[in-house]
């Protein structure tokens, strides 16, 4: 009985370690997230504007702000901000403009 218990404890510990992500795996995921968001951006010189927001698996998305310049000539290289939602399940970046989020509408 004691051997069986020790074997089960050892297998449980091994299974927990096998499913844990290594630091290298997290770095690779972060690079994939940033690369996907920058590629999906409509801005020139797009770059992350901070660290990603990591939502839990019940949400399935991570969020990242992207900054860059608008490509359109009439925008005269104005700086823009976009919000990228990265769908972890489908490995797809979705972008929306995020410039006026903190500006209250005029009455």
Residue 89 belongs to what H/E stretch? none
Q: Which residue's structure tokens are 């972008």?
A: 95
- Classify residue 47 by its DSSP letter: E
* Predicted confidence band of residue 20 (pLDDT cuts 50, 70, 90): low
Coil, strand or helix at 71: coil
User: Rounded CA gap, 5 and 84, in Å?
Assistant: 48
Nearest to 95 by CA among 43, 28, 29: 43
Q: Based on the structure, what is the number of domains in the chain? A: 1
What is the average per-residue pLDDT within 52-60?
95
Is 42 contained in some domain? yes
Has residue 6 got a pLDDT over 80? no
What is the pLDDT at residue 2?
52
What is the pLDDT at residue 102?
79
**What residue numbers bound the domain in which 83 lies?**
24-97
* Predicted confidence band of residue 65 (pLDDT cuts 50, 70, 90): very high
**Prediction pTM value:** 0.76
């Amino acid at each position: 009985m004691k051997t069986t218990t020790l074997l089960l404890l050892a297998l449980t510990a091994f299974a927990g370690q096998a499913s844990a992500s290594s630091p290298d795996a997290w770095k690779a995921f972060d690079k994939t997230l940033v690369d996907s968001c920058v590629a999906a951006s409509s801005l020139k010189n797009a770059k992350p504007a901070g660290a990603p927001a990591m939502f839990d698996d019940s949400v399935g998305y991570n969020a990242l702000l992207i900054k860059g310049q608008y490509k359109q000539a009439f925008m005269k290289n104005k700086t823009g901000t976009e919000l990228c939602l990265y769908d972890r399940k489908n490995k797809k970046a979705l972008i929306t403009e995020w410039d006026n989020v903190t500006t209250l509408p005029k009455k």
